[in-house]
């Protein structure tokens, strides 16, 4: 079962090296305008390569990551070549070479078969329009987290075998926003997220001008039916920070290109100075009101509180009593 076009593309890079050895490392062109002799040698070299690699997995097309809810099915394709006289057999494995989930014999009239944990979710009727690779694909329905893992396509023949493995991650974005919260009194900053799957990676950074440095944070996590809840904590020392300082929290899901980040600017306040303009205006306004109130009190009660007035009144009362 030879797809000559595919095989020529695969072996094209190897032909030049083989011809170089045969023809004293002479550089030959593979353009169609070249003389026929190099193509004769190329055909011989191609046949030689086929004899040493009767079956070959050319490409394994497996999506690196799939967001839960974005699709109801996943298709994986294993492109391979095999010589016509080779009784090739295709097998798919999940997480290693022990748990087989699919089998197809290209030269047999038997339909492909699903095996193992995904038996009820594999669509064995799914086929490629190419008759030479009719059932070289996996179509898995009902996408869920348990599909995450390594998938191996293995092609076996009488003389040789070949395989390739790719990883698939089924993930869910967080159900809450990524947050950075600052607790000034405790010199503590936290980054938190919840309802995400699988376990994400949280990294804290301090941005100082053009300099960005990673900091050692404490990670706490737990899980529930919605996924993982993760919090990163960092206690800082004001004396080691510039003013202002930017805290940056970066979230990634390993094995995917999913990424979120959040920034928070932290201004270190000088002792006795309040930088909040609204609060300063409020404070100034209250100080003015207090001064006005004190003046009013002094004006209304100043005479009554004067010691000379008390002495005069006392003498007057004494004089009246003696009279």
Residue 136 φ/ψ region, left for φ over 0, alpha for ψ in the -120 to 50 degree band, beta for the rest: alpha
- 97-124 pLDDT tens trace: 889 999 999 888 888 999 999 999 999 9
- 245-260 pLDDT tens trace: 899 999 999 999 999 9
Distance CA 98, CA 298 (A): 95
The mean pLDDT of 48-54, rounded to a whole number, is 57
More confident residue, 16 or 157: 157
| Domains of the chain listed by start with CATH number | 4-52 (no CATH), 56-171 (2.60.40.10), 179-266 (2.60.40.10)
Structure confidence at residue 223 (pLDDT): 93
What φ, ψ does residue 134 adopt, rounded to 5°?
A: -60, -45
The mean pLDDT of 207-226, rounded to a whole number, is 86
Give the C-alpha distances (Å, rounded to integers) separating 159 from 59, 156, 164.
20, 8, 18
Residues with Cβ within 8 Å of residue 53, at least 6 apart in sequence = 160, 162
Structure confidence at residue 208 (pLDDT): 79
Distance CA 62, CA 12 (A): 25
More confident residue, 289 or 160: 160
The mean pLDDT of 295-303, rounded to a whole number, is 38
- 149-181 pLDDT tens trace: 999 999 998 888 999 999 999 999 999 999 999
Res. 56 pLDDT band, cuts 50 70 90: very high
């Amino acid at each position: 079962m030879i797809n000559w076009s595919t095989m020529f593309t695969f072996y094209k890079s190897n032909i030049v090296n083989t011809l170089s050895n045969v023809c004293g490392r002479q550089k030959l062109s593979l353009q169609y305008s070249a003389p026929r002799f190099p193509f004769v040698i190329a055909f011989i070299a191609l046949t030689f390569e086929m004899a040493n690699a009767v079956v070959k997995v050319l490409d394994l097309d497996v999506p690196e990551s799939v967001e839960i809810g974005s699709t109801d099915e996943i298709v994986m394709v294993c492109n391979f070549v095999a010589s016509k006289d080779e009784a090739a057999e295709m097998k798919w494995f999940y997480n290693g070479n022990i748990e087989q989930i699919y089998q197809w014999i290209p030269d047999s009239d038997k339909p492909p078969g699903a095996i193992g944990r995904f038996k009820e979710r594999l669509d064995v009727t799914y086929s490629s329009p190419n008759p030479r690779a009719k059932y070289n694909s996996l179509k898995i329905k009902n996408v869920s987290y348990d599909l995450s893992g390594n998938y191996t396509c293995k092609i076996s023949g009488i003389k040789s075998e070949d395989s390739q493995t790719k990883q698939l991650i089924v993930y869910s974005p967080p159900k809450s926003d990524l947050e950075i919260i600052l607790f000034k009194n405790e010199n503590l900053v936290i980054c938190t997220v919840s309802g995400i799957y699988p376990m994400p990676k949280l990294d804290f950074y301090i941005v100082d001008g053009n300099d960005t440095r990673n900091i050692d944070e404490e990670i706490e996590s737990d899980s529930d039916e919605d996924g993982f809840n993760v919090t990163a904590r960092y206690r800082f020392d004001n004396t080691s920070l510039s003013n202002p300082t930017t805290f940056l929290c970066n979230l990634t899901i390993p094995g995917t290109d999913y990424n979120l980040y959040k920034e928070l600017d932290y201004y270190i306040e000088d002792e006795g100075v309040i930088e909040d303009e609204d609060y300063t205006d409020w404070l100034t306004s209250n100080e003015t009101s207090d001064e006005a109130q004190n003046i009013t009190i002094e004006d209304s009660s100043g005479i009554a509180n004067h010691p000379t007035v008390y002495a005069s009144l006392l003498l007057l009362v004494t004089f009246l009593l003696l009279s």
